[in-house]
Chains A and B, each alone.
Chain A
Amino acid sequence: EPEVTQTPSHQVTQMGQEVILRCVPISNHLYFYWYRQILGQKVEFLVSFYNNEISEKSEIFDDQFSVERPDGSNFTLKIRSTKLEDSAMYFCASPKRDNPTYEQYFGPGTRLTVT
Chain B
Amino acid sequence: QKEVEQNSGPLSVPEGAIASLNCTYSDRVSQSFFWYRQYSGKSPELIMSIYSNGDKEDGRFTAQLNKASQYVSLLIRDSQPSDSATYLCAVDFRSLGRLYFGRGTQLTVWP
Residues on A facing B (Cβ under 8 Å): 1, 31, 33, 35, 41-45, 48, 55-56, 58, 89, 91, 93, 95, 100-101, 103-109
For the complex, give the distance between the alpha carbons of A84 and B100 in Å. 24
Contact in complex: B43, A106 (CB < 8 Å): yes
From DSSP, what is the main secondary structure of chain A's interface residues? strand
A33 nearest in chain B by CB position? B97
Q: Using A108-B43, A109-B43 as known contacts, say yes or no to A103 and B34 having CB atoms under 8 A apart.
A: yes
Known: A89-B43, A93-B99. 6 other contacts (CB 8 A): A91-B43, A100-B97, A103-B49, A104-B34, A104-B46, A109-B42
Measured in the bound complex, the distance between the Cα atoms of B32 and A80 in whole Å is 34
* Size category, B interface: 20 to 34
A104 contacts across to B, CB distance below 8 A: 34, 46, 97, 99
Q: Mark B9-32, 1 if CB is under 8 A from A, else 0.
A: 000000000000000000000011
Contacts of B88 in A (CB 8 A): 42-43
Tell me the complex Cα distance, A110–B70, Å.
Answer: 33
Q: Which chain A residue lies CB-closest to B92?
A: A101
A77 to B45, CA, bound (A): 21
